[in-house]
């Protein structure tokens, strides 16, 4: 499937995304733009076979159901998840998935005095659910300020029941060596045997770097489809079969039960018991098409292209001594920065006047931004395969103008 790198014409890739005509979109860590193939696939659903899934015995419903189910098969293949290893469940977004996981663990597995470890790098979505569970159940929540194997070895202990970690920071552009960490957790006798659940937030990673879930072997791995060229409203999570005994739905309703009486029900098998109510089959079908689009380019080529663009951005930003760039030496794809005396919102608004769209603020990771940038908000550039060197040049030119006009005289 993978194309030879030299066969890819990146200019053509950009033209696959119709919205990118005349704008410089540098906010893909927030959400990705959608290629024509995905837009057409959604159009096809609504013009050719739309019907609710798992309910009808007529052709439309069977077709939509088959597309929905094959979307999960596509995700499994893309992330290398074998049937023996675990399930893919769909929900509303990554935030919802992480909340569901935290609530399930609260109900089935966490007890007063247990310890949860989150890193300071977590997005609010993998922080707040654990803070709330810790409060309700009187658990100890510890923060990991450095994500590396040495610190993991020092911090994890017999009481640690959950390790919640981001794979790829949406602020610093760090990609953590989750493989090494999971290997340690899974193979350390006093932590494993189901005693330490690992919840990996892959929201920034999926679709940008190659991921092999069977090799990583986490308990849960989560992402949002809208960051992977798909429509909004779909969260995806992997559930390892080895924690099936800790899985209990937190939402009840239609389509997740086999039999219902006035005072009880018999749940469907995994993963259907986790999917109460009508699912976002539109986005699921879009995700299948988006993954096919990525597969056609090759995820290795995507990763390589993002590295080349990141290196180009790094070199250009390093020449501007008034920019305080976070993790400039190491960042991949996501670069946060501040300019002394100019608020991040003013930078983003100034650039918007020139049709250059970047993000500004705390990036839903306020503890991290406060920790690394003394409570000051940050502007952020994030790249995807539809960006090119011209986009980066345009960003640099606009930043130079911004500094010229807005710096404190
Ligand atoms: C690292 C990370 N985790 C979780 C999320 C939450 O994703 P969603 O808003 O789609 O639920 C984001 C979104 O920016 C993110 O960057």
CA 224 / ligand 1 centre spacing (Å): 7
CA 382 / ligand 1 centre spacing (Å): 14
Residue that terminates a domain, selected from 255, 279, 295: 295
Structure-token pair, residue 358: 């970047």
Q: Note the pLDDT tens digit of each residue in 217-269.
A: 999 999 999 999 999 999 999 999 999 999 999 999 999 999 999 999 999 99
Residue that terminates a domain, selected from 249, 275, 295: 295
Same domain, 251 and 329: no
CA 165 / ligand 1 centre spacing (Å): 13
Q: Of all residues in the chain, what percent carry a pLDDT higher than 90?
A: 90
Same domain, 230 and 209: yes
Same domain, 25 and 67: no
Q: 94 CB under 6 A from ligand 1?
A: yes
Closest-CA residue to 347 (of 319, 374, 308, 320)? 320
- What are the φ and ψ backbone dihedral angles of 191, each rounded to 5 degrees? -100, -30
Using DSSP's 3-state secondary structure scheme, residue 160 falls into strand
Domain of residue 195, CATH code: 3.40.640.10
Q: Note the pLDDT tens digit of each residue in 150-182.
A: 999 999 998 999 999 999 999 999 999 999 999
Domain count, the chain: 2
| Residue nearest ligand 1's atom 16 by CA | 170
Same domain, 16 and 155: no
Domain of residue 340, CATH code: 3.90.1150.10
With a cut of 60, say whether residue 97 has pLDDT above it: yes
Instruction: Provide the residue range defining the domain that includes 305.
Output: 5-33+298-406
Using DSSP's 3-state secondary structure scheme, residue 351 falls into helix
Same domain, 69 and 215: yes
**Of the listed 118, 196, 265, 364, which one is catalytic?**
364
Strands 264-267 and 257-261: antiparallel
Closest-CA residue to 377 (of 408, 398, 349, 353)? 349
Which ligand 1 atom is nearest residue 96's CA?
Answer: 11
Same domain, 169 and 270: yes
CA 354 / ligand 1 centre spacing (Å): 27
CA 243 / ligand 1 centre spacing (Å): 24
Q: 203 CB under 6 A from ligand 1?
A: yes
Mutate to test the pocket of ligand 1, among 98, 164, 170, 384 (most ligand atoms within 8 A of CB): 170
Residue that terminates a domain, selected from 244, 277, 295: 295
Q: 224 CB under 6 A from ligand 1?
A: yes
**Amino acid 190: pLDDT:** 74
Alpha-carbon dihedral angle through residues 64, 290, 355, 9, given to the nearest 10 degrees: -140
| Residue 402 bears catalytic tag | no
Same domain, 260 and 121: yes
Same domain, 283 and 347: no
- pTM to 2 decimals? 0.96
Which ligand 1 atom is nearest residue 168's CA?
Answer: 1
Strands 235-240 and 86-91: antiparallel
**Amino acid 14: pLDDT:** 95
């Amino acid at each position: 499937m993978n194309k030879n790198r030299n066969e890819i014409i990146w200019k053509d890739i950009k033209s696959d995304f119709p919205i990118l005509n005349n704008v410089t979109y540098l906010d893909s860590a927030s959400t990705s733009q959608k290629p024509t193939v995905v837009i057409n696939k959604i159009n096809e659903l609504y013009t050719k076979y739309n019907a609710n899934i798992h309910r009808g015995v007529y052709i439309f419903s069977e077709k939509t159901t088959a597309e929905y189910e094959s979307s999960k098969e596509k995700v499994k293949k893309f992330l290398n998840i074998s049937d023996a290893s675990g399930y893919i469940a769909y929900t509303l977004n990554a935030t919802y998935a992480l909340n569901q996981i935290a609530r399930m663990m609260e109900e089935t597995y966490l007890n007063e005095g247990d310890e949860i470890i989150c890193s300071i790098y977590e997005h609010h979505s993998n922080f707040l659910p654990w803070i709330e569970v810790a409060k309700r159940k009187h658990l100890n929540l510890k923060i990991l300020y450095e994500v590396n194997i040495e610190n993991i070895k020092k911090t994890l202990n017999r009481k640690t029941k959950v390790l919640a970690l981001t794979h790829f920071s949406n602020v610093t552009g760090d990609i953590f060596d989750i493989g090494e960490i999971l290997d340690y957790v899974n193979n350390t006798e006093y932590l494993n045997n189901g005693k330490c659940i690992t919840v990996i937030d892959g929201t920034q990673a999926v679709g940008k770097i190659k991921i092999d879930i069977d090799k990583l072997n986490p308990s849960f791995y989560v992402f949002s489809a809208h960051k992977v060229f798909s429509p909004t409203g779909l969260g995806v999570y992997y559930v390892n079969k080895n924690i099936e005994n800790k899985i209990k739905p937190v939402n009840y309703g239609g389509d997740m039960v086999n039999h219902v009486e006035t005072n009880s029900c018999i749940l469907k098998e995994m993963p259907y018991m986790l999917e109460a109510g009508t699912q976002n089959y539109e986005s699921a079908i879009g995700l299948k098409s988006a993954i096919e689009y990525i597969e056609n380019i090759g995820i290795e080529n995507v990763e390589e292209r993002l590295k080349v663009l990141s290196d180009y951005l790094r070199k250009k930003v390093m020449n501007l001594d008034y920019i305080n760039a976070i993790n400039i030496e190491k960042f991949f794809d996501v670069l946060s920065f501040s300019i002394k005396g100019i608020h991040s919102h003013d930078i983003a608004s100034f650039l918007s006047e020139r049709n250059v769209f970047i993000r500004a603020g705390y990036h839903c990771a306020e503890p991290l931004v406060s920790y690394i940038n003394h409570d000051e908000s940050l502007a952020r550039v994030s790249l995807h395969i539809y960006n090119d060197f011209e986009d980066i040049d345009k960003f640099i030119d606009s930043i130079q103008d911004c500094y010229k006009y807005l710096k404190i005289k």
